[in-house]
Structure 1
Amino acid sequence: MMLQLGDQAPDFSLPTGSGDTFHLADQRGKPVVLYFYPKDDTPGCTAEACAFRDQYEDFLDLGAVVVGVSSDSEASHQKFAQKHRLPFPLLADTSGALRKQYEVPRAFLGLLPGRVTFVIDAQGKIAYIFNSMSGATDHVSKTKEVLRGLVNAPGK
């Protein structure tokens, strides 16, 4: 059964490219943008990461945490983040367990890991899912729209 809007986001802990451990439960109380991407330093993935970087202040202003995930190693993430001055953590899902837990599909006849972005609200529920291999930077603009809606929702 696929994850749906309103479902509790599966909790996890994974190593980052900086050697820390990111634990989703530690982020309760603020929205989390969890974006899965195929591979460090490929054209689409670099464009997406740099778009998140270039608009990172907007995400901070919305109270959000941005986190990228791929199956690349911690060392690969560290090089990728340094090369492109990425201010947010990249998580090393080397076994693909988190990708499987979040039901991120493979693309292009199952040859590539998919590109899916989740917005997890402050209560830990999935508020948005965007699945698109093309238009990597669309993940950033659509995610910001959703976050603005969460921040400006009645009762906030």
Structure 2
Amino acid sequence: MSLQVGDRAPDFTLPDQSGTPVTLSERLSGKVVVLYFYPKDNTRGCTAEACSFRDGYESFTDAGAEVIGVSSDTVESHEKFAGRHELPFTLLSDKDRAVRKQYGATTLGVMPGRITYVIDGEGVIRHVFSSMTNIGAHVDDALRVVKELTAA
């Protein structure tokens, strides 16, 4: 069961692409976080999605938000993926898929899904978008919601 708008985002700590532990609640602290789950580094759809977030990254940061990507790939895979595509945001390694399970970020209940959550500074989920194919909408919808939240 995936989380819904209005639910509290479960806190977690995972290693980033350099192996440094990242805790969601520490990243929130009054700031909006765009947390997106994707299936796998270096696949066509996931590369397109990451590059779309990269291309819009300045708009997210200008609006006061942080972008964080999560997949079950290793720290080493994330490091290469981020370097190859010049990704300026954090990628987290959820090797055992525990966080993915907490968030219900799966397709058909078993396969890694492509789901984006916009979480406000209080840790409440304000937007959920799930689509394996409409990659551009993940970025566009998230940015629209971030701007709405930070303008208020």
TM-score interval, smaller chain: over 0.9
Secondary structure of the 1:130 match is strand
The Cα of 1:143 is off from its aligned counterpart by 0.4
Write the distance in 1 (CA, Å) between the matches of 2:3 and 2:41. 25
Paired position in structure 1 for 2:80: 79
The Cα of 1:86 is off from its aligned counterpart by 0.3
The Cα of 1:122 is off from its aligned counterpart by 0.9
The Cα of 1:59 is off from its aligned counterpart by 0.4
Identity of aligned residues (%): 54
Question: Cα RMSD over matched residues?
Answer: 1.3
Are residues 1:18 and 2:18 paired?
Answer: yes
Which runs of structure 2 are paired with 1:22-37 in the superposition (5 Å)?
A: 22-27=22-27, 28-37=29-38
Are residues 1:7 and 2:7 paired?
Answer: yes
Q: TM-score, normalised by structure 2?
A: 0.95
Which runs of structure 2 are paired with 1:35-114 in the superposition (5 Å)?
A: 35-107=36-108, 110=110, 112-114=111-113
Q: TM-score, normalised by structure 1?
A: 0.93
Larger-Rg structure: 1
Secondary structure of the 1:137 match is helix
The Cα of 1:5 is off from its aligned counterpart by 1.1
Task: Give the letter for the 2:124 counterpart.
Answer: K
Q: Tell me the matched-pair count.
A: 151
The Cα of 1:18 is off from its aligned counterpart by 1.3
Paired position in structure 1 for 2:149: 150
